[in-house]
Amino acid sequence: MSARRLDACVVDTRNSPNVRLRPVPPAHVSLRDAFWAPRREANGRRTLRTQLSHLESTGALDNFRRLGEGLDRPFKGMYFADSDVYKWLEAVGWHLADHPDDSELRGQAHRVIELVAAAQRADGYLNTYFAKERADERWTDFDLHEMYCAGHLFQGAVAYHRTTGDERILEVATRFADHICDTFGPGPDQRVAVDGHEEVELGLVELYRTTGQRRYLDQAVFFIEARGRGLLGAPYGHREPEYSQDHAPFRDMDAVVGHAVRALYYTAGVADVCAEIDEPDYRAALERQWHNMTERRMYVSGGVGSRYEGEAFGVDYELPHARAYTETCAAIGSVMWNSRMLALDGEARFADLLEWTLFNAVLPGLSLDGEHYFYQNPLADDGQHRRQAWFGVACCPPNIARTLAALPGYLYGVADGEVWVHLYAASGLRTTLPDGTEVELEQATRYPWDETVTFTLRRSATFALMLRVPQWCTEATLRVNGEVQDVTITSGSYLRVAREWSDGDEVRLELPMPVRYLTAHRRVSEAVGRAAIARGPILYCVEAADHADVDPRDLVLPSDPAAFVAGSSDLPGELPALRAPATVLHADRGPLYRSADEEPNVARSPATLTAIPYFAWANRAPGPMQVWVQRDVPVGRGRSVAGGDA
């Protein structure tokens, strides 16, 4: 049986020359909070096991068997079905990092690895779609995800090798990587080509970090430099080059464009390269694209991708609510990109967006029972959009699973003499800093519902504790051993608390969480006259299940967000809700269009507005949902339902 590896890092930049922060292995973090820990337990106990059943029933595993066992069966599923198996394997690897005794999942993973290894061709090539009847079509159509699948194999193999020490899956991955490096490149006997869907770049860099083989890093750079020169022509025969980010070299790009998942896997891969190679033009392009996304092309949830057509980014401010595509995989791509930018620069804006996206754009993709999924995540719905047990295109479910399994690796970062706290959750940390300082501390909190975070030092040592003060928090307070500290605390930055610590020292950070309204740029037309409700790092929505005989689309917010009070809900897991007195605008039965100087006759009545965390919607009876709620009550010849003129 493979040995457990305690030093396994999700993105291993410990030896990368261009990073500000080093990673903390998930095994060095004991996550035991009331928010994330139960979800991760469900991920291991239910999600990964039901996903394996779906991979079996849909034929994804049989696709490997028909090669390794010579079965006379046709290929089943999408041409990139292999990637779902690899993401599942990656998720199991990170699950085993803190559940090493889960012998059932370990055994299942080993059987999957046997299937994968047996399907590999003698020259290292591995793709079950381009096998048997399609063997002569290898590397002929780069819209069909051969390198994309390879990238997920590389990431899955690295994760499983790092956490368990398993050499066989790593050998499979390096053989395929060697085949790709031999086939594509600038040499006289090589080809110049790029895959339609970025991902291989991420996998190649991580293979380089694991094996030390420089050719894998060079190959990732080769693919980045080759893209943007029109090699893909018209993707799928009818799309524009922007769809696959093949319209311009990366160093010249100013905006996130095209298929959202591809775009963000691309930026994440380039950020990985920047950690290893000094590329100022890449860094500048990453900054430009980040600002374009966050300032003009991102939903209030952190979700991205506004168009069903092409699963793509739209133009600036094109952010429809009910037709928001906001694929769960795109949100995960944003988390991946921001985590890498955070490592490069140590800037709180990346951690802020990483956290906001996890809570409000990734988590909605998974039901509270851990077994149903959203592919798209709209910000308004009439009650028809519901989570599914699986999809024909099943990229999102195993993507969520691997993200949850690896989550402890996102909480902390380290540098010489510094411990950086990126995410707040009750947890223990026991690790060694790059300069050799041994650190042991405990974090106690009920975050994201409670504003207090307390750190207790469990080992005497000298270092700085770097505490993130989120952008939304304007009045944070710091106490050390009970005494308020007279320090300048700036929102959207890290607060440095440095001293010679003793066992038992206590640091308390208070992050007040008043309910606040978020408004949108005036060019986001559907949000005009509306606001979204937020408290701390959580975005809220209004759902019909809490409003008998009232359509959430007819509710009007109270003028002051301070009117909201926290209370209980009937959501699974006893998630809290916010309530406030509000107004209902009853249907105007006048004409569809009227003269601008003719005021509508709208009846109004009082109501109680209940807001629930957006990530928890669609877990009860179907019905309309709104994130953006009306803010301004129309004036004019309206009347009160209670009687009399309004």
Active-site residues: which are they?
Answer: 311, 395
Tokens coding 332: 């995960």
Secondary structure (3-state) at 2 = coil
- Count of alpha carbons within 13 Å of 609, Cβ hemisphere only? 30
Which residue do the tokens 């928010």 mark? 35
Closest CA to 179 of 126, 142, 231: 126
Instruction: Give the Cα separation of 187 and 476 in Å (integer).
Output: 57
Instruction: Give the Cα separation of 407 and 427 in Å (integer).
Output: 12
Instruction: Give the Cα separation of 584 and 587 in Å (integer).
Output: 9
Instruction: Give the Cα separation of 578 and 555 in Å (integer).
Output: 15
516 touches 481 (CB < 8 A)? no
Instruction: Give the Cα separation of 331 and 630 in Å (integer).
Output: 26
Instruction: Give the Cα separation of 402 and 202 in Å (integer).
Output: 15
Compute the chain's Rg from CA coordinates. 25
Closest CA to 433 of 348, 498, 380: 498
Tokens coding 281: 């033009």
Q: In the beta sheet, which residues pair with residue 499?
A: 463
In 492-643, at which residue ranges do the beta strands (DSSP E only) sit?
Answer: 493-501, 506-510, 515-518, 530-535, 538-543, 555-556, 565-567, 577-585, 603-613, 625-626, 629-630, 639-640
58 touches 128 (CB < 8 A)? no
**Cα–chain center distance at 566:** 27
Tokens coding 387: 């989570």
Q: Nearest 10 degrees: CA dihedral of 632, 634, 639, 640? A: 0
Instruction: Give the Cα separation of 213 and 206 in Å (integer).
Output: 10
640 touches 605 (CB < 8 A)? yes
Instruction: Give the Cα separation of 25 and 418 in Å (integer).
Output: 16
Residue 633: how many CB atoms within 10 A of its CB? 14
- Count of alpha carbons within 13 Å of 442, Cβ hemisphere only? 10
Tokens coding 60: 């994804």
Q: In the beta sheet, which residues pair with residue 494?
A: 468
Tokens coding 447: 């975050």
First to last CA, the chain: 76
Closest CA to 256 of 315, 317, 202, 300: 315
Secondary structure (3-state) at 356 = helix
Tokens coding 324: 């928001």
Amino acid letter, 444: A
Percent helix, strand and coil across the chain, each to the nearest 5: 40, 20, 45
68 touches 50 (CB < 8 A)? no
